[in-house]
Structure formats: C-alpha cells, structure tokens
Amino acid sequence: MSDSTFAPPLALTQLSDDERLFADSVYEFAHREVRPLVREMDEHAKMAPALLPKLFELGIMGIEIPEEYGGAGATLFHSVLAVESLSRVDPAIGVLVDVQNTLVVNSFVRWAKADLKKRYLPKLAETTIGAFCLSEAGSGSDAFALTTRAVEDGDSYRITGRKLWITNGNEADLFITFATVNPDAGYKGITAFVVERGTPGFTVGRKEDKLGIRASSTCELLFEDCRVPKANVLGEVGKGYKVAIETLNEGRVGIGAQMLGLAQGAFDHTVKYVKERAQFGKHIAEFQGVQFQIARMAADVEIARLLTYNAARLRDQGKPFLHEAAICKLITSEVAERVTSEAINLFGGNGFVKEYPVEKLYRDAKIGQIYEGTSNMQLSTIAKACLA
C-alpha cells in the first residue's frame, strides 16, 4: 500500500470520485506536512505552530461553514474523511480538526443567531480555532452537574467557574462555554456562551501531561467574574443542555473517524513491516499465523469504517443517528486499541520502542474510550435504544 494514497475501502464503503479526491488531498497533506513533525510534537507535547495556518489554507477548518461565510459548505461526511485522513498520520492533529468542525463549527451553524454567525463563522473558516468547554472536575460523564455559574448583570453575564480537559485550549481563540444561569433549575439552567480569548477574567490554565495525543493541548480554563455580552449567548438561555447533547452526537462520529484513521495508520505500518521483516529465512508475512493476524486487523478496520461512514451518512441525510453514533464511538475505540496492540505484537521488540510509530499510536488509542462519552455511556445509550 502506498504511503501517499487513501486506503481503498471495500465495495460497501466506496466513495464518490469527489469524496476520494478530497480524502486523498488531506492525506497527502498530512503525509507531507505532518508526518516529519509527529515524533517531535509527541516528545515535546506541543503542536507545531506552523501547521495551524496550513490547516486553514487547506480548507478543512470550516468544512460545514456555509460558503457565504467563507467555509466549504460541505457535510459532516467530509469532516469525517478529513479527520480520518489526518489521524492516519497523527491523531493529535486529527482531534484538533475534529473539535473545530464537529463541535465548534457545528454548534454555530445549528444554534447561533444571525449576528453571531456573521461575527464568528468567517473567523472560524479562515484564522480562528475554537474549543468546546463543557467538562468540569465534578461533571465528566454527568456533564450537567456542572457548577460554572453565569449571573445576569445588565446587558451581560458574569461567568465564574473552572473547566477541565478542554481540547484545543492552548490554540483556541474562541471558547463555547457552558454555565448555569439558575442552579435550582438543574439542566434547564444551562446556557452556552461564546467567550473570546483575552476577555478580562478569563484565563487558560495548565496543560495536562497526557499518555497519548500529546501534541493536542488539553487544558483547564478559569473564569473569574468574566463578563460576556448577552449577545454572545449561543442558542437560547436555559437551552444549553440541548446544544451540548445534540452537538456531541456529531462529535462522537468525529471521534469514530479519529479512531478509524488511527487504526488504519497502524495497519498500514504493520503491513509494510511484515513484508520487510525476515525470520527463519523468509519474510514474516509468509507465515500463516501472521497472515491471520493481518486479516483480523483488516476486518476490524473495515468494521470501524462501515460504522463511521454509516453514522455520518445518516446524519447528513437528516435521519436519526443517535444509536448509530453511539455504536460507532464504542466499537471504533475498541478497534483502535485492538489493532494498535496487534501492531505492536507483530513489530515485536521494535514495536515497544519510540523509534517505530506504532508505540505512539497505541498510546493515542486509549483516549477513544474516554472522551466525548465513555464506553459505558455509549453502552447505556445503545441499551436504551434497544429496550425502548
């Protein structure tokens, strides 16, 4: 398999010519621009700043933004293809683009009033990275137990609280922040606000030192009497829970794409390695036991692709996809962990050292079962749909 072409899916998941051209172009970019920087970014736990404007130039930071605002006017499926293609090379870059498109852009396109769209969508398409700020120390899976408070004050709200585990925290200039305007109302008090970097009272705190996707920044955010105009409410006051829940459905498909690309990348490296590695006088790819391991990896990757593409297609067709998104997130994260583990086994001792790429992909895979809804939360969603 060539390092510079998109992995050919099986007949059931064939892409149109335009979709394949798009996926190929993103992967070729990742192979050329990202791959040489992957190890250094991982070791230093820092995104290469020069990559960020190139992502905007490629046109993949505003995929679903309408053309009238400077975006591509494309679909969630195109976002999935972009995240998959990038994640084959580096899932840390993949998740940056994923959060930008499936969470931030999607929130603005679906929920923002005309003024907010006019102010922020052109920036998100051209220069500005966004972050989606929901989680707190005491509200992970129980997302709506959040305690960040927004108090009405004239034509503004004053936000006070602390957010944790916020992806893109270091790179973002725009933060969709969830806070409650009425703690007594429970989830019905939650409201989404658009907060700009540099707003007085808002600070990006420490960056987490993580196991995997280390180049992707995961930060705490501090709000200390941070004044945000009422015009920056995203959606309706008290309806932030709806913004969060419905946006995260798309986000889970995006994480599915990240895990799919990660697994495909590990598979690509493994196929190449077993064809080159010789033992007992022949390449290990000639041993039937190895062939069976490769076959199972290939089947797993294709399962992940079918689930991810299906969930994205359903959403773009306006059909229900909550059940499919949960299955996609659950299974692709398991596939990523399983395929990368098998990759290390087939690399042998080489797979356990940082000189070879599969060690990093194995570390990167673990987060897939945790963020944007843990595996247990996905199982709960799936079970409810089955037993309804």
Q: Report, as residue numbers or ranges, the catalytic residues.
A: 372
E strand residue ranges, the chain:
130-133, 149-153, 156-167, 174-180, 190-196, 202-207, 218-229, 233-234, 278-279, 282-283
> What is the SS3 assignment for 224?
strand
> Cα separation of 193 and 175, whole Å?
8
Interior angle at CA 174, CA 233 and CA 80, nearest 5: 100
Q: 65 Cβ partners below 8 Å, 6+ apart?
A: 71, 72, 73, 105, 108, 109, 121, 124, 125
Interior angle at CA 11, CA 28 and CA 60, nearest 5: 30
> Cα separation of 301 and 343, whole Å?
13
> What is the SS3 assignment for 168?
coil
Cβ 155 vs Cβ 161: under 8 Å: no
Cβ 368 vs Cβ 336: under 8 Å: yes
> Cα separation of 10 and 42, whole Å?
32
Radius of gyration of the chain (CA): 21
> What is the SS3 assignment for 15?
coil
> Cα separation of 47 and 333, whole Å?
23
Q: 239 Cβ partners below 8 Å, 6+ apart?
A: 191
Cα torsion at 123, 129, 130, 135 (round to 10°)? -170
> Cα separation of 31 and 169, whole Å?
25
> Cα separation of 270 and 345, whole Å?
10
Nearest of 259, 265, 211 to residue 369 by alpha carbon? 259
- In DSSP terms, 234 is beta-bridged to 192
